[in-house]
Structure 1
Amino acid sequence: MFNELSPPGTSSFDQKEDGKVRLKGSMGVWGIVFIVAAFAGPLGAMGGTVPIGINAGNGIGLSATFIVSTVILLLFSVAFTALTPYVPNAGAFYAYIGTGLGRRTGFGTAFLALLAYLALLVGVYGLLGSGITALLASWGVGAPWWVGAYVCMVAATSLGYRNIDLSKRVLGVLLLAEVGIVMALDASVFVNDGGPEGMSRGFTAPEALLSGAPGLALLFCFLSFLGFEATAVFRDECRNPNRTIPIATYLAVTLVGVFYVVSTWALISAWGDEEAVRIAAADPGAMLPGAVGNYLGSTAEHVVQVLYVTSLFACLLSIQNVTSRYVFNISQRGALPAVLGTRHERHGSPSTASNVVTVIAAVFVLLAIVINLDPATELYAWFAGATTVGFIMMLLGTTVSALVFFGRRWHSGKLHESIARVIVAPAVALVCLAAVSVLVLQNLRDLVGGSQLVAWAVLGSLAFAFAWGFTVSTRHPEISLDN
């Protein structure tokens, strides 16, 4: 067993009765919402994911597709939050899945989730490095993408080493700045009654929702919501978690969803329906900055270029924090070496886990440099594609777990919750997520850059990670999902 001894460098102050260590923090609802929203990277999504979704998906129907994805995630959140009182630990999706489907399935999901978030971390380093290179080029300075990536790696590691409250404040400032500039664009577009064609017909023309490739559009929408399970990952570092987590989950999904719906509608309207589709295909990276320049002036356009980079850094910092807590929590349960479950004496942070996560990311970035991968179209596309698949599988597994758990309680006469909340809503969410899962598999090749080999590699890697966690828990029956 990995975790036979208490982690070194801990004291009775650090430990609970079973010898496991808690992280320290004092986050409330809004602190967690900031981290979740920063993980989603709203400005990065509006500047990158949304134009690509318009081009590859269903064109002007993308704004309405965000409504569909938000509703599905809210239905999922009903099952997620209903299970929260029965999952008294910071294990997030994998602990929720283990509650209904057993600890071996839970540990399999834990390793799958860890791989998915590590992949996203590496991918975002590529996208961020590319963004920094483009920003420096606009100032007449040339630098390879990996220079910016490694500089940001040092900054993210430094913040991840410290208490989560510091990261929370940094993320809050960056998030308010990036959301503020997009909302300023939204307001300007609405005040001017849209662009040359008025407001987009994306909502008033039902055929727009089903045009083009609506399945691929839905996948890009889900990609824009990645990370909202962080509401449960930070359980030990928030006040009154049984109240905070459900409120933060509903708030995060609703606010992020409304932001994407309104801002996508405004962005398309700023160009006009036909022109929006054209520019999304011709130069997707220019779609948001160009709209800001047209409506808010050239200075604001340059500000957006800077905020695009800070948005990706905020996203990166959130992923670093979530991933390091995955490593910490899995180690605390005995499925990874005990040293990864140690807590910094002064900062109360998972400093060792955070440093290990950084080393893994640094190695993969180095490999990308050596084999000359394009940081955006290959490194980010491939690795973010893997994360999207893992994310959908975790949503599906959590929903099934909720139905199984509450179904057992209903059958045994111990169900005290509303049937509509714990049976009907999760069942509807399950049907929706099953359909999304089919779309993921059908469109996976396009999601990872058009390579069938990479698509198979993604599925194989995720299957291997799940099997690894399942096997570890089978060989070590003494390890538990419970804190």
Structure 2
Amino acid sequence: MAAPTSAAPESPSRLSGSLGVGSIVFMVVAAAAPLTVIAGTVPLGVGAGNGAAFPSTFLLCALVLLLFAVGFCAMSPHVPDAGAFFTYVRHGLGRPLGLGAAFLALATYAAVQAAVYGYVGAAVDELVTSYGGPEVPWWVYTLVLMGVVAVLGYRHIELSSRVLGVLLLAEIAIVLVLDAVVTVQGGAQGLSTAFLDPAQVSSGAVGIAVMFAIASFIGFEATAVFRDEAHDPQRTIPRATYTALVVIGLFYAVSSWAIVSAWGDEAAVAQAGASPGTFLVDTVNAWLGPFAGHLAAILLVTSLFAAILSFHNVAARYWYALGGHRALPAACGRTHAGHGSPHVASLAQSGLSFVLIVVFALAGLDPVAQVFAWMAGTATLGVLVLMSVTCLAVLVFFARSRVDRRAWNTRIAPALGLAGLLVCLWLTISNFPTLIGGSPALALAIAAVLALVALAGVVIALLQRRSSAGVPAPRTAPAEVDTRPDRTPAS
């Protein structure tokens, strides 16, 4: 099935849908790409980070993000439109910084989607050739999958949710089976306790470990992006946010601990350093047999596809929010009359992804060592800046508005979350050249691009404010009323 080629019916109305907690959590956890993290991030964290204690880093990062989520969710009822970072920063720090955050978020999600597009092209090629198939350029597979994502993104959000749900359950299941078998059998040398030892947790390259761990959570905050498509946003969004964080954090920590236990502490570090690309599949082969190893390789590809589709949906909704605020062409802020989807915004995101992949292919970049590494590093830096600014916006919003006087929710937890995020940001900046291949010049160039993108949003907002200055307000400016059923505020 292909996207319609004729002019699609359009509507300037808001997005529609009836997503529940489960559907949103599926999309957010799929964006985190659990199997991809276990197969790709865990070996790097164990081999180049803090060794066998790396599972504890997931728990520490999850704790910081839970503190961030407290203020994020407390502010949710007071931010009545979709847009996540954009709307939070706009309400807390003003429209110019809000638009700057929106442009930075769009660049961040475009970068992480491009990173996974590179990875999946290489993964599919490796899978096909391992079964005796022809070897073709990685970008051929990437462009084919891009077409599938474009069709799913164009249609109703609940179709994407169902696709992601099936893929997510399959990839989580095989890892949980591995976890259970290793735990029951007691590991190679007993179950690892390294994650409980503070000396081991703080050993090695802790900054590298934190970078890899925090990057594994990218996308969890996207729960707020689906506000207009949630069944009961004031209840659904907070529940989905907390659920996604807890599920992701526990899954990463337990699964990485099980894999370390499967090898033994010292052997796990050695194996992860020597063969990071096959660390998970080798573990599955040893503990579950060759058939499960082949299945894990296949599910890795579907995990990458699920991540791409989820990131696409998030990015499209930033296009949609910016179109609605006239920071991008107004057509991006329209919805499809039949699907209720941001179809123009979705097509715009598909177009941007297509351009990026074509540029990378023409430049002859390696899909993993360069496309994936550089773009994933860019996204990690961008999302940490966004979360830090959003946390500050939450603090300022509640201090100024006084609409919620709960000290823990509006002051203490957000302040602690901001402190934790700033530490993570400092560690990421300090180790950024390592994350994107060891080039300080490239690291500086990427940081400059992100800064310029954010600045462009600020400038557009200031120009819009200047152009509207002195224009008399309309005689009546009724507030937008959401007439959809089942959108009553939480009691």
How far 1:66 sits from its partner (Å)?
0.7
What does 1:304-453 align with in structure 2 at a 5 Å threshold? 304-409=296-401, 414-453=402-441
Identity of aligned residues (%): 44
How far 1:21 sits from its partner (Å)?
2.2
Distance 1:66 1:366 in 2: 35
Could you list the structure 1 runs, at least 4 aligned residues long, displaced by more than 3 angstroms after superposition.
7-10, 414-417
SS at match of 1:281: helix
How far 1:288 sits from its partner (Å)?
0.6
Of 80, 85, 88, 2:77 maps to 85
Distance 1:471 1:373 in 2: 33
Of 175, 178, 190, 2:183 maps to 190
Q: 1:261 maps to which residue?
A: 253
Distance 1:228 1:331 in 2: 23
Q: Which amino acid aligns with 1:216?
A: I
How far 1:205 sits from its partner (Å)?
2.1
Q: Which amino acid aligns with 2:313?
A: N
Contact 2:93–2:393 (CA under 8 A) maintained in structure 1: yes
2:195 aligned with 1:203, yes or no? yes
Q: 1:4 maps to which residue?
A: none
Distance 1:276 1:21 in 2: 54
Task: Give ranges in structure 1 of 5+ residues lacking alignment.
Answer: 1-6, 15-19
Greater mean deviation of Cα atoms: 200-209 or 240-249: 200-209
1:150-205 deviation per Cα after TM superposition (whole angstroms, max 9, x unaligned): 1110111111110000000000000000000000000000010112x111122232
Of 157, 162, 181, 1:164 maps to 157
Q: Which amino acid aligns with 1:269?
A: S
Distance 2:256 2:429 in 1: 26
1:36-73 deviation per Cα after TM superposition (whole angstroms, max 9, x unaligned): 00000000010001111112211111101111001000
Contact 2:320–2:342 (CA under 8 A) maintained in structure 1: yes
SS at match of 2:418: helix
Q: TM-score, normalised by structure 2?
A: 0.92
SS at match of 1:449: coil
Q: 2:448 maps to which residue?
A: 460
Q: 1:3 maps to which residue?
A: none
SS at match of 2:370: helix
Task: Give ranges in structure 2 of 5+ residues lacking alignment.
Answer: 1-6, 470-478, 481-491
Distance 1:469 1:416 in 2: 30
Q: TM-score, normalised by structure 1?
A: 0.93
Distance 2:17 2:187 in 1: 44
Q: 2:23 maps to which residue?
A: 31
Greater mean deviation of Cα atoms: 265-274 or 302-311: 265-274
Q: Which amino acid aligns with 1:359?
A: G
2:220 aligned with 1:232, yes or no? no
SS at match of 1:194: coil
SS at match of 1:229: helix
Q: Which amino acid aligns with 1:228?
A: F
Contact 2:101–2:454 (CA under 8 A) maintained in structure 1: yes
Distance 2:272 2:202 in 1: 18
Distance 1:171 1:439 in 2: 33
Greater mean deviation of Cα atoms: 304-313 or 212-221: 212-221
What does 1:59-208 align with in structure 2 at a 5 Å threshold? 59-141=51-133, 142-195=135-188, 197-208=189-200
How far 1:137 sits from its partner (Å)?
1.5
Of 265, 268, 286, 1:294 maps to 286
Q: Which amino acid aligns with 2:362?
A: V
Distance 1:111 1:118 in 2: 11
Distance 1:25 1:98 in 2: 25
How far 1:8 sits from its partner (Å)?
9.4
Q: Cα RMSD (Å) of the superposition?
A: 1.5
The number of aligned residues is 462
